[in-house]
Amino acid sequence: MEMTTTVLSYSGGLDTTASIAWIKEKLGHEVITVTVDVGQQEDFKEIEERAYAAGAKKHYFVDAKEEFAKEFISTAIMANAMYEGKYPLSTALARPLIAKKVVDVAKQIKADAIAHGSTGKGNDQVRFEITIKALMPGIQVYSPVRDWNMNREDELKYVLSKGIPIKVSKSEFSIDENLWGRSIESGRLEDPWNEPPEEAFAWTTSPGKAPDTPEYVTVEFDGGIPTSINGSKMSLVDMIRELNATAGKHGVGRVDHIEDRVVGIKSREVYECPAAVSLIEAHQDIEKLTLTKSILEFKKLVENQWTNLIYSGLWADPLREPLEAFLKETQKVVSGEVRLKLHKGIVMPVGRRSKRALYRHELSTYTKASTFDQRQAVGFITIWGMQPLVYREVNGFEPGYT
């Protein structure tokens, strides 16, 4: 008899390790594990060994860092994506890509089902399941932690009883990491009044302990995409790596806010995203130099829609492509350089220049070099203020329209 095969999206942590053994034992399926590298700092050899120790029939490793940067992060930069004004979407953005890579393996080996390690309270289950079902219609999806109501204590006992080697982190925090940022949840952070303790952070220096001397970083953009740092061209992956280190050293990129999850829960979320925060700050600045007010204003609506789609697991929504087409069209002229100043937790654009700049010194200067005929402003004001002034004349000049 042919065995039923389930492909599991495998991070190497306790939840997904317990899931391997459970799927085999409870469902009697063969388990194929897939670990996708989206820039998390992990020992992938060790993860593979653990997958086999837990009973995986075959393990796949997929390096998706370049694709993550080129296809996902670059769009997030164009969209200045900050969910609820604060969260650069780091975890959210990687989910559809991980789902896609797991589906690729499932198709290749003609699997019968796909499983992932999300809980039933978060956004990740929504992101994984909708994307998986969009890419592989009709496939059975399991979420063992959620569907069998697993908890960490039982999982640990179960995994240890099977003799599976697992390093149980002493940390009270639940961490998710990729190139675009590090998400920190649970433990003491569940009380939103508690300040995140220093040990919650791994990528950023405490701003108070950051260097006294500021550091300047010049980011060059070409068509909305960062192409070089301090004059040296490098891949987006390398640029993000470098900025995570440099901006992180100066304590830049810490985020602490209350977030609205898709499932309606409000949660306290802490992040450190030094590169994301710095690059979006720089990108917004170069856009202001090169785009008109009308595009900047309208683009905010598109940015917000795109960010909400990605956050809420609707990467598969057909609205995404037309939104991205608009974003790309606007970026054709978004080229130039921004000089960022990093200092004690703050990133600030302090200089910008571009061949495409709409800034004209001869128009804005107050010196006699000005070519702007200021006498024309008189006629402009007369016409510009006509409607409100007529309205006031008809309805009264005082507030309250007496």
CB of 90 to ligand ARG, least distance (A): 7
Q: How many residues lie near ligand ARG (CB under 6 A)?
A: 10
Interface map 106-145 toward ligand ARG (x if CB under 6 A)? -----------------xx---------------------
Range 72-111, binding ligand ARG (CB under 6 A): 91-92
Q: Please, which residue, 26 or 266, has the CB nearer to ligand ARG?
A: 266
Q: Does 174 bind ligand ARG (CB under 6 A)?
A: yes
CB of 332 to ligand ARG, least distance (A): 30
- 116 vs 133: CA distance, rounded Å: 13
Q: Please, which residue, 24 or 257, has the CB nearer to ligand ARG?
A: 257
- 349 vs 283: CA distance, rounded Å: 10
- Name the burial class of residue 146, with classes exposed (0-12), middle (13-18) and buried (19+) by CB atoms within 10 angstroms of its CB: middle
Q: Does 269 bind ligand ARG (CB under 6 A)?
A: yes
Of 176, 281, 285, 303, which lies in the binding site for ligand ARG, with binding defined by CB under 6 A? 176
Q: Which of 63, 104, 174, 339 is catalytic?
A: 174
Helices 90-108 and 124-135 pack at an angle, to 10 degrees, of 40
Q: Please, which residue, 6 or 125, has the CB nearer to ligand ARG?
A: 125
Q: Please, which residue, 185 or 220, has the CB nearer to ligand ARG?
A: 185
Q: Which of 9, 15, 50, 127 is catalytic?
A: 15
Range 178-217, binding ligand ARG (CB under 6 A): 183, 185
* Residue that has been written with the tokens 């970026």 in this structure: 331
Q: Please, which residue, 20 or 270, has the CB nearer to ligand ARG?
A: 270
CB of 260 to ligand ARG, least distance (A): 10
Residue 124: active-site member: yes
Q: Which of 9, 118, 124, 176 is catalytic?
A: 124
- 9 vs 270: CA distance, rounded Å: 24
What is the length of the chain?
402
Q: Does 308 bind ligand ARG (CB under 6 A)?
A: no
152 close to 26: Cβ distance less than 8 angstroms: no
Interface map 309-348 toward ligand ARG (x if CB under 6 A)? ----------------------------------------
- 236 vs 275: CA distance, rounded Å: 11
Q: Please, which residue, 87 or 221, has the CB nearer to ligand ARG?
A: 87
Residue 37: active-site member: no
Q: Please, which residue, 77 or 92, has the CB nearer to ligand ARG?
A: 92
Interface map 213-252 toward ligand ARG (x if CB under 6 A)? ----------------------------------------
Residue 15: active-site member: yes
CB of 252 to ligand ARG, least distance (A): 20
37 close to 65: Cβ distance less than 8 angstroms: yes
Given the rule CB under 6 A, which residues bind ligand ARG?
91-92, 123-124, 174, 176, 183, 185, 259, 269
Catalytic residues: 15, 95, 124, 174
